[in-house]
Amino acid sequence: MDDFDKLIEIARAKVYVRGQPIRRLGFYMVQGLLARKLSKGTDIYRVLKTILRLVKEPSGFLSLERLAARPGGAPHVRITGIDDLVSEYARGEGLGAVGRQFAMISEKFNIPIEFNGVPDFAQNVTRDMLHVRPGEALAVNLAMLLHLIPDESVDVNNPRDGILRMVKSLSPKVVTLIEQESNTNTTPFYHRFVESLEYYLAMFELIDDYSRFRSDVHRINMEKNCLAVDMVNVVACEGNERVKRHELFNKWKFRLTSAGFSQYPLSTFFNCEIKKVLGSHSKHYTLPEKDGALLFGWKGRNLISASAWH
């Protein structure tokens, strides 16, 4: 502990919430290490999550213009959103805000949209709660969700695979999976720490490039609210308290195939279009294909995997 305290003091003199990405990353990693030493990781994570009010009104919805322009008129669209009450409170009335946004889109584009909010933890959701109707073309979007669900290393009931089996029972037309390409689930602490350093350094560098014309205050808030929450949980927490448990795509692929899913082939046209858009922003973005998944990355470090299943 004496050695730790001395090294932390040296590190503190070299890290700062402004400046180069490595210094900003170091600032939050030092906080995580101190929280781990003091067994305060869970408390700090809860505080950070509580002040995470980034989504007052949802943004970034994909355009529904194409649906409105379909020959014969737009189809009836029914969307079910799932958000536990803890996360909803932290983000500022998540499901209510989403419902209002869809109502606005429905009126603007004259598309019949029905929104159903399910205020519960994803692992508690059952088929009956989703009210799936006969004849519907069902799509399930698992975006940045599964790494938050305990697996067999935490819970003998393995809710992570349980969700996949429940989704399979719905016989969806398509399931999309989007996850962070990082290995922090069952990895021993030292390797998890190094993995986090490499992963989040790429994220901090990406933010630098993306927000070069933004104010320091905006960037600091983004990093504190979006990244520091994850980093503290990964570094400072263990057992049930460590809820950020990322896995690499090959492990997700194993889980989905074990649950009975098959992969959809990726669209070459779609991939080319994405690469054009990314290339117009920065030459450092990468988008390789591997094992049937798209891997979004920065300077060769894969950050996000995206794949489609049925």
**Cα–Cα distance, 206 to 296 (Å, whole number):** 12
pLDDT of residue 212: 61
CA-wise closest residue to 230 among 194, 184, 287 = 184
Is 111 domain-assigned? no
Q: Which residues pair with 306 in a beta bridge?
A: 178, 294
d(CA 103, CA 107): 6
Q: Which two tokens stand for residue 192?
A: 């998890």
91 found inside a domain = no
> What is the number of domains present in the chain?
1
For the chain, list residues with pLDDT below 70. 41-42, 44-63, 85-93, 211-215
Distance CA 158, CA 61 (A): 32
Residue 275: what pLDDT? 86
* In a domain? residue 47: yes
pLDDT of residue 307: 96
What pLDDT does 5 receive?
93
Q: Does some domain include residue 133?
A: no
Say what the pLDDT of residue 278 is.
85
Which letter does DSSP use for residue 146 in this model? G
Place of tokens 């399930």: 140
> Is 192 within 8 Å of 234 (Cβ atoms)?
yes
* Domain annotation covers residue 262: yes
pLDDT attached to residue 140? 96
pLDDT for 51 equals 47
> Mean pLDDT, the chain, as a whole number?
86
Query: DSSP labels for 12-29?
Result: HTT--SSSSHHHHHHHHH
- pLDDT per residue as tens digits for the range 247-297: 999 999 999 999 999 999 988 888 888 888 888 888 899 999 999 999 999
**42-61, pLDDT tens digit by residue?**
676 665 555 444 434 444 45
- Please state, in angstroms and rounded to a whole number, the distance separating the CA atoms of residues 47 and 41: 10
101 is a domain residue: no
Determine the pLDDT at residue 271.
Answer: 85
pTM of the model: 0.87
Q: Does the residue 249 lie in any domain?
A: yes
Range of the domain at 204: 2-53+138-309
- The continuous run of DSSP H or E covering 82 comes out as strand 77-82
Residue 171 located in a structural domain: yes
